[in-house]
């Protein structure tokens, strides 16, 4: 007998309950795998410094060296605009903000390198360097620390391959233990696991983190880490599957970001040295796979670096600056909001590219958000997903110093809390 329609619908409550039971596992899986943006600040770059050369004054020294280079080769907004092909009106606030940034926070994320930048050393030498790195990071984040302080800092250990596995684990243990003895793990701590090829290597890192947390009485899940994508196997496995998605899953919620390694990955693809670059087609393919795999997971992306250093005479410095600036701009347009900087001379063009990117679009983004919130009819009808993207854009600009809250509020009518809500943070 057919069910009698009483309220304008035909499906009974039992049908809805059945569908809900059917999809409960899917709902749980979606919530686990795709929690969305973590709502924290993402640095615009990571600066790598070998463990044997880093000192308590490294961040300040990088800022001073970058400021001196800027003063020598682009001392004012007009000269910066000529070198980089930037609009002169835009160059004014960009140049001023670069100068301020280099004094206040020249390095946003410092990574003390025990891998390629450090090499293989005698065990006692690396032991001492790991202990020294722990003290340096503890001092960086200590209350009342003097000088410019990065928002994030940590180490890149050696990888999980058999030849260096034990050494990398010992360095990690010495470093984390040193931090605990100095007062605990700082909030801005970042660890980097390089040259990952198999998900099991990420699982091993998870187990190390778990055991350290147990040994030191830390909350479960306290320690997270970055995964470096430097090998072809980390993009496409021997089974034909996209390995990078499996790496994120293997991290069991501890992966904070994926970092693309320009030169190791290019070399593993057989790209000759002269053509190993962030904009090579092999690099674009790898980063596109990373981007899709990480979308919605809360795991962020970082592009790699250029090895062309701005040193020498003015012509060479300007050529290197133009190259670096164009590569950073290219990354930003492709939604890679972070990259690596390997030399103080890269800082002026890192911030020039980043600040111009956010400042040139600030007014338009703010106006679109104001129209969206006010439900006004404009020349663009934005969806909630676009409102999230627009809010995220302004928030990243605020975080790095490209924008300030007063001018964002003027163009959007929104304060930081409202932007956070729209961005889903």
User: At 193, which CATH number?
Assistant: 3.20.20.60
Whether the per-residue pLDDT at 201 is higher than 80: the answer is yes
> In terms of domains, do 272 and 163 share one?
yes
Share of the chain above pLDDT 90, in %: 89
> In terms of domains, do 200 and 348 share one?
yes
pLDDT for 376 equals 52
Whether the per-residue pLDDT at 13 is higher than 90: the answer is no
Q: Report the Cα 262 to chain-centroid distance in Å.
A: 15
Domain that residue 64 falls in: 45-360
Q: What is the pLDDT of residues 314-346, one digit of tens each?
A: 999 999 999 999 999 999 999 999 999 999 999
Q: Which of 122-126, 144-148, 363-367 has the lowest mean pLDDT?
A: 144-148
> In terms of domains, do 111 and 213 share one?
yes
> In terms of domains, do 370 and 222 share one?
no
Which residues, other chains included, contact 113 with Cβ-Cβ below 8 Å and sequence gap of 6+? 48, 49, 50, 51, 155, 156
Q: What is the pLDDT of residues 244-292, one digit of tens each?
A: 999 999 999 999 999 999 999 999 999 999 999 999 999 999 999 999 9
Overall size of the chain counted in residues: 425
> In terms of domains, do 282 and 368 share one?
no
Whether the per-residue pLDDT at 378 is higher than 60: the answer is no
In this prediction, residues 93-120 reach a mean pLDDT of 96
> In terms of domains, do 178 and 228 share one?
yes
Residue 65, in any domain of the structure: yes
> In terms of domains, do 379 and 330 share one?
no
Where among 319, 343, 360 does a domain terminate? Answer: 360
In this prediction, residues 230-254 reach a mean pLDDT of 95
Three-class DSSP category at 378? coil
In this prediction, residues 117-142 reach a mean pLDDT of 95
Residue 29, in any domain of the structure: no
> In terms of domains, do 329 and 287 share one?
yes
pLDDT for 1 equals 44
> In terms of domains, do 334 and 407 share one?
no
Whether the per-residue pLDDT at 119 is higher than 60: the answer is yes
pLDDT for 379 equals 52
Which one, of 65, 73, 167, 69, lies nearest residue 106 by Cα? 65
Share of the chain above pLDDT 70, in %: 97
> In terms of domains, do 402 and 316 share one?
no
Whether the per-residue pLDDT at 43 is higher than 70: the answer is yes
Residue 369, in any domain of the structure: yes
In this prediction, residues 154-178 reach a mean pLDDT of 98
Alpha-carbon gap, residue 202 to 294, rounded angstroms: 15
Three-class DSSP category at 264? helix
Which one, of 289, 298, 322, 293, lies nearest residue 308 by Cα? 322
């Amino acid at each position: 007998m057919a069910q009698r329609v009483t309220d304008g619908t035909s499906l009974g409550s039992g049908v809805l309950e059945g569908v809900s039971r059917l999809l409960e596992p899917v709902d749980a899986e979606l919530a686990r795998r795709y929690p969305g943006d973590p709502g924290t600040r993402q640095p615009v770059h990571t600066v790598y410094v070998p463990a044997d050369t880093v000192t308590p004054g490294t961040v300040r020294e990088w800022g001073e060296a970058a400021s001196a280079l800027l003063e020598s080769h682009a001392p004012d907004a007009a000269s910066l605009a000529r070198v980089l092909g930037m609009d002169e009106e835009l160059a004014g606030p960009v140049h001023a903000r670069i100068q301020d940034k280099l004094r206040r926070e020249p390095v946003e994320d410092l990574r003390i390198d025990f891998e390629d930048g450090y090499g293989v050393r005698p065990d006692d030498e690396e032991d001492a360097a790991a202990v020294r790195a722990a003290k340096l990071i503890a001092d960086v984040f200590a209350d009342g620390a003097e000088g410019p302080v990065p928002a994030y800092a940590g180490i890149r250990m050696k990888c999980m391959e058999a030849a260096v596995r034990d050494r990398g684990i010992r360095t990690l243990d010495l470093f984390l233990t040193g931090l605990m003895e100095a007062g605990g793990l700082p909030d801005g701590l970042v660890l980097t696991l390089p040259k990952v090829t198999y998900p099991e290597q990420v699982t091993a890192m998870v187990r190390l983190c778990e055991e350290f947390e147990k040994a030191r009485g830390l909350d479960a899940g306290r320690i997270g880490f970055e995964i470096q994508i430097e090998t072809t196997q980390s993009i496409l496995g021997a089974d034909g599957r996209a390995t990078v998605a499996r790496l994120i899953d293997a991290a069991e919620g501890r992966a904070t970001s994926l970092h693309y390694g320009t030169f190791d990955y290019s070399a593993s693809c057989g790209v000759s040295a002269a053509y190993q670059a962030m904009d090579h087609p092999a690099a674009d393919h790898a980063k596109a796979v990373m981007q899709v795999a990480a979308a919605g997971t809360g795991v962020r992306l970082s592009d790699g670096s250029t090895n062309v250093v701005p040193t020498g005479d003015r012509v060479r410095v300007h050529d290197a600056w133009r190259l670096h600036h164009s590569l950073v701009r290219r990354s930003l347009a492709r939604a890679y909001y972070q990259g690596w900087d390997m030399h103080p001379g890269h800082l002026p063009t890192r911030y020039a590219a980043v600040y111009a990117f956010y400042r040139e679009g600030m007014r338009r983004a703010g106006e679109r958000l104001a129209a969206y919130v006010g439900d006004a009819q404009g020349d663009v009808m934005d969806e909630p997903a676009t409102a999230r993207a627009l809010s995220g854009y302004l928030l990243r600009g605020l975080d790095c110093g490209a924008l300030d809250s007063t001018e964002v509020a003027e163009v959007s009518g929104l304060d930081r809390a409202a932007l956070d809500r729209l961005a889903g943070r």
